[in-house]
C-alpha cells in the first residue's frame, strides 16, 4: 500500500458514517467520529429521543449496579450524582445532557430504524423504516446487548385477561395498590422492582425458576455537601472513578474470571448475606442457588431479601404449569388468582442489530456468517463485512463491569482504523478468517476456568450453551484493545480508488 497511502490526507478524506442506535454507545461514537472530522454522521434511532436502555427501562427501582462515577464517560464526568448506584432517571438525564452539550441530537433521525444494510461498491447502503436509503463509508451497530425483551413461552400466557407486561415496557397506567400481582423472574431487574411493588402495597406472588446470588453492596445517598466538594475539585471525581474501577476490576472481574482468592471471598460474602438476611430456614432454602457464585450475573442488591419477607409477598418455587384467564396454575396443582402479571424475564442478548437484514461482501448475510456460531474478531469486526463495526459484540461483556468503559475502549480501538482510512491507507477493512479463528480459540481456552461454566443457565450463554463473555481480566482486555494488530486484517483498495 506504500505508494497509495499518500493519495489522501485527513483534510481531503473526511468520510461518512451511519450509526444505528442513540444510546450510550451511539452518543459516544457520534462525538468521537465528529472529533475525527467525518463530514457526514447520521444516527438512526427507533425511539423519539436518545438514551437506549435508560430510556426504555422505567420500572420501579430501576438503577445501575455499577458505581455511578465509573459509569459516566471519561471525557464528560458528572460530579453530582445523587447516589453511589445511580437511579435510572438520573442516568437518562445525564446521557440526554451529554447529547445536548455535544450537539448529538442534530445528527439523529428519531422514530427511524434500520431495515436493511448492504455493502455495495465500497459503500454501505442503509434502508430505513421511513423508506430512505443512506450511503456511508462506515456502518456502526450500537444497538446494545439487552434491548429485545424476552417473553416466556408459558402455555396460556396470551389468554390472561388482566394487564400483562414486560418490565422493559412498564405500564404506568396500572394502579397496583392492593392488587394481586404475579411477578415472573428473580434476576437483577426483579431484585430492584419487587421491593418497590411490595412497599407500594401490591399483594405480590413471585414465581421463581432459579434463585440468584446477591452481593450486599450498600447504596449511599450522596449529600449536597459532598456534591459541592466534588464540583469544586474535579480531580477528586477522577480519583473516585479510578478507585471504583480498580475495585470492580480487582474484585468482581477477577472473581468471575477464575481467580481463586477473589472468588472464594465473593462466595463467602454472598452466602453469609443469604444466611443472615433470611430468617426463615425454608425460605432461605428456596433462595439458595445450586450453582457457583458468578455463574449468572451477580445481583448487587440490599433490598430484595427484605422485601420478599414482608407479609404481602410470597415466593412460589414449584414452577408454572399454565396461565389461564384469571391467574396461574403451578405444577403442584395450586391456582393463584391474579389481577395482573409482570414479566421480568430478561432479554435476547445475541440479537444485536437484528431484525435488521445485514448483507456484506458478495451479498453474504449475517445469518449465513453466523449459521454455525456467533463469532467476531475482538468483538467488533466480522469477516466479510468491510468497514462494519459491532459495538459490545460477542465476548465483550466483562463480568459486572461498566459497559461505558468497555465502549470507550472499543471506540478508541476502532478510531485508529477510521483515522488510517482517512489517511488513505486503505478503502476497506475486515478481519481475516484466520484471525477470527485464533481469537475465538483464545477466548474458548480462557473460559474453562471461569465461574460462567459453573452449572447454570444465563443470558451469558449462546445457543450452544457457551459463554459469550471475555474470560480474562479487565487489564488484559484493555491492553489487548490498545491498538489493532495490522496483520489480523485484510486491507483493500476499491477499484475506483486504484484507477483514479
For the stretch 435-454, pLDDT in tens is 999 998 998 888 777 766 65
- 189, 302: one domain: yes
Is residue 117 within 8 A of residue 125, CB to CB? The reply is yes
- C-alpha to C-alpha distance for 269 and 293, rounded to whole angstroms: 10
The residues pairing with 431 across neighbouring beta strands, listed in sequence order, are 489
Same domain, 335 and 456: no
Omega before residue 168 within 30° of 0, cis = no
Three-state SS sequence of the chain: CCCCCCCCCCCCCCCEEEEECCCHHHHHHHHHHHHCCCCEEEEECCCCCCCCHHHHCCCCCCECCCCHHHHCCCCCCCCCCCECCCEHHHHHHHHHHHHHHCCCHHHEECCCCEEEEEEECCEEEEEECCCCEEEECEEEECCCCCCCECCCCCCCHHHCCCCEEEHHHCCCCCCCCCCEEEEECCCHHHHHHHHHHHHCCCEEEEECCCCCCEECCCCCECCHHHHHHHHHCHHHHHHHHHHHHHHHHHHHHHHHCCCHHHHHHHHHHHHHHHHHHCCCHHHHHHCCCCCCCCCCCCEECCCHHHHHCCCCEEEECCCEEEECCCEEEECCCCEEECCEEEECCCECCCCCCCCCEEECHHHCEHHHHCCCCCCCECCCECCCCCCEEECCCCCCCCCCCCHHHHHHHHHHHHHHHHHHHHCCCCCEEEECHHHHHHHHHHHHHHHHHCHHHCCCCCCCECCCCCECCCCCCHHHHHHHCCCCCHHHEEEECCHHHHHC
pLDDT for the residue numbered 462: 60
Would you state the pLDDT for residue 492? 94
Domain termination site, one of 343, 377, 403: 343
Domain membership flag for residue 480: yes
Closest to 478 (Cα-Cα) out of 404, 413, 392: 413
pLDDT digits (tens, 9 = 90+) for 275-308: 999 999 999 999 999 988 887 788 999 999 999 9
Mean pLDDT of 88-107: 97
pLDDT, position 316 = 96
Q: Is the pLDDT of residue 484 over 80?
A: yes
Q: Based on the domain organization, do 75 and 141 belong to the same domain?
A: yes
469 or 437: whose pLDDT is higher? 437
486: pLDDT strictly greater than 90: yes
Looking at 343, 369, 390, which one is the last position of a domain?
Answer: 343
Shared-domain flag, residues 86 and 193: no
Q: What CA–CA distance (Å, rounded) separates 426 from 8?
A: 10
Instruction: Give the pLDDT confidence score for residue 101 in this predicted structure.
Output: 97
Classify residue 228: in a domain, yes or no.
no
Domain for residue 2, yes or no? no
pLDDT at 206 over 90: yes
Answer whether residue 9 shows pLDDT above 80: no
Position 5 scores a pLDDT of 40
Whether the pLDDT of residue 457 is over 70: the answer is no
Nearest to 195 by CA among 110, 106, 277, 280: 277
Of the candidates 458, 67, 443, 440, the residue with the CA atom closest to the CA atom of residue 249? 67
Domain span holding position 293:
157-222+249-343
- pLDDT of res. 451: 63
Do 162 and 276 belong to one domain? yes
What is the reported pLDDT for 7? Answer: 44
Query: Does any domain span residue 239?
Result: no
Residue pair 236/229 in contact by the 8 Å Cβ criterion:
yes
Q: What does the alpha-carbon distance between residue 185 and residue 319 come to, in Å, rounded to a whole number?
A: 11
Q: Please count the other Cβ atoms lying within 10 Å of the Cβ belonging to residue 211.
A: 18
At residue 8, does pLDDT exceed 50?
no
As for how many domains the chain has, the answer is 2
- Alpha carbon distance 272, 128 (integer Å): 52
- 227-276: pLDDT as tens digits: 999 999 999 999 999 999 998 888 877 877 778 898 899 999 999 999 99
Final residue of a structural domain among 281, 315, 343 = 343
Same domain (yes/no): 193, 303: yes
User: Do residues 102 and 205 both lie within one domain?
Assistant: no
Q: Are residues 353 and 303 in the same domain?
A: no
CB count within 10 Å of CB 173 equals 6
For the ranges 80-84, 173-177, 206-210, 461-465, which has the lowest average pLDDT? 461-465
Provide CB contacts within 8 A for 347, sequence distance 6+. 145, 146, 147, 148, 149, 150, 168, 459
Query: How confident is the prediction for the chain on average, in pLDDT?
Result: 89
Q: Are residues 286 and 178 in the same domain?
A: yes
Task: Retrieve residue 481's grid coordinates.
Answer: 484493545
Residue 358: pLDDT above 80? yes
Q: Is residue 363 part of a domain?
A: yes
Per-residue pLDDT for 500 more than 70? no
- Give the residue with greater pLDDT, 219 vs 1: 219
Q: What is the predicted pLDDT for the residue at 230?
A: 95
- Same domain for 69 and 108, yes or no, is yes
Q: How far apart are alpha carbons 308 and 282 in whole angstroms?
A: 13
Nearest in space to 124 (alpha carbons), one of 19, 272, 249, 10: 19
Q: Are residues 77 and 104 in the same domain?
A: yes
Find how far residue 204's CA is from the centre of its chain: 28
Q: Give the pLDDT confidence score for residue 466 in this predicted structure.
A: 64
Between 5 and 420, where is the model more confident?
420
Place of cell 432479554: 347
Q: How far apart are CA 229 and CA 233, in angstroms?
A: 6
Spatial contact of 83 and 221, defined as CB atoms under 8 Å apart = yes
In a domain, 381, yes or no: yes
Residue 46 inside a domain? The answer is yes
Residues 49 and 115 reside in one and the same domain: yes
Question: What pLDDT, on a 0 to 100 scale, did the predictor assign at position 496?
Answer: 59
Give dist(CA 366, CA 117) in Å, integer: 11
Residues of the chain with pLDDT > 90, as a percent, come to 73
User: What CATH number did the domain enclosing 66 receive?
Assistant: 3.50.50.60
- Provide the grid cell at 131: 423508506
pLDDT band at 406 (very low <50, low <70, confident <90, very high): very high
Q: Is the pLDDT of residue 375 over 60?
A: yes
6 lies in some domain? no
Amino acid at each position: 500500500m506504500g505508494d497509495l497511502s499518500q493519495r489522501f490526507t485527513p483534510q481531503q478524506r473526511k468520510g461518512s458514517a451511519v450509526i444505528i442506535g442513540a444510546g450510550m454507545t451511539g452518543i459516544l461514537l457520534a462525538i468521537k467520529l465528529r472529533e475525527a472530522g467525518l463530514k457526514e454522521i447520521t444516527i438512526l434511532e427507533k425511539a423519539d429521543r436518545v438514551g437506549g436502555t435508560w430510556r426504555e427501562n422505567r420500572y420501579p427501582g430501576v438503577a445501575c449496579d455499577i458505581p455511578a462515577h465509573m459509569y459516566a464517560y471519561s471525557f464528560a464526568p458528572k460530579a453530582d450524582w445523587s447516589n453511589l448506584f445511580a437511579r435510572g432517571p438520573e442516568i437518562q438525564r445525564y446521557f440526554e445532557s451529554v447529547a445536548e452539550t455535544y450537539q448529538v441530537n442534530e445528527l439523529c433521525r428519531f422514530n427511524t430504524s434500520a431495515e436493511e444494510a448492504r455493502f455495495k461498491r465500497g459503500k454501505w447502503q442503509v434502508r430505513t423504516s421511513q423508506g430512505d436509503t443512506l450511503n456511508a463509508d462506515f456502518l456502526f451497530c450500537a444497538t446494545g446487548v439487552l434491548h429485545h425483551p424476552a417473553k416466556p413461552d408459558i402455555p396460556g400466557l396470551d389468554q390472561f385477561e388482566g394487564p400483562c407486561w414486560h418490565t422493559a415496557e412498564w405500564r404506568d397506567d396500572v394502579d397496583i395498590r392492593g392488587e394481586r400481582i404475579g411477578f415472573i423472574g428473580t434476576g437483577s431487574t426483579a431484585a430492584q422492582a419487587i421491593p418497590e411493588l411490595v412497599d407500594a402495597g401490591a399483594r405480590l406472588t413471585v414465581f421463581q425458576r432459579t434463585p440468584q446470588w446477591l452481593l450486599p453492596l450498600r447504596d449511599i445517598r450522596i449529600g449536597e455537601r459532598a456534591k459541592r466538594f466534588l464540583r469544586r475539585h474535579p480531580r477528586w471525581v477522577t480519583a473516585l472513578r479510578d478507585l471504583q474501577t480498580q475495585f470492580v476490576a480487582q474484585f468482581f472481574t477477577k472473581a468471575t474470571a477464575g481467580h481463586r482468592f477473589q472468588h472464594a471471598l465473593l462466595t463467602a460474602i454472598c452466602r453469609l448475606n443469604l444466611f443472615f438476611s433470611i430468617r426463615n430456614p425454608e425460605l432461605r432454602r428456596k433462595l439458595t442457588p445450586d450453582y457457583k457464585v458468578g455463574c449468572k450475573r451477580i445481583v448487587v442488591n440490599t433490598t430484595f431479601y427484605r422485601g420478599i419477607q414482608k407479609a404481602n409477598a410470597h415466593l412460589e418455587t414449584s414452577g408454572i404449569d399454565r396461565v389461564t384467564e384469571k391467574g396461574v396454575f403451578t405444577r403442584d396443582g395450586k391456582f393463584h388468582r391474579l389481577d395482573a402479571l409482570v414479566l421480568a424475564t430478561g432479554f435476547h442478548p445475541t440479537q444485536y442489530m437484528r431484525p435488521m437484514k445485514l448483507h456484506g461482501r458478495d451479498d453474504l448475510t449475517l445469518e449465513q456468517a453466523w449459521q454455525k456460531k456467533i463469532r467476531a474478531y475482538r468483538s467488533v469486526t466480522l469477516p466479510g463485512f468491510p468497514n462494519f463495526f459491532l459495538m459490545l459484540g460477542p465476548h465483550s461483556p466483562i463480568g459486572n463491569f461498566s459497559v461505558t468503559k468497555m465502549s470507550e475502549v472499543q471506540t478508541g480501538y476502532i478510531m485508529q482504523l477510521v483515522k488510517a482510512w482517512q489517511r488513505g491507507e486503505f478503502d476497506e477493512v475486515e478481519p481475516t478468517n484466520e484471525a477470527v479463528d485464533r481469537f475465538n480459540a483464545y477466548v474458548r481456552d480462557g473460559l474453562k476456568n471461569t465461574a460462567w461454566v459453573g452449572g447454570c443457565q444465563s443470558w451469558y450463554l449462546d445457543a450452544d450453551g457457551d459463554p459469550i463473555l471475555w474470560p480474562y481480566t479487565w487489564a488484559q482486555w484493555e491492553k489487548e484493545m490498545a491498538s489493532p494488530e495490522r496483520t489480523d486484517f485484510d486491507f483493500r483498495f476499491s477499484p475506483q480508488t486504484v484507477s483514479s
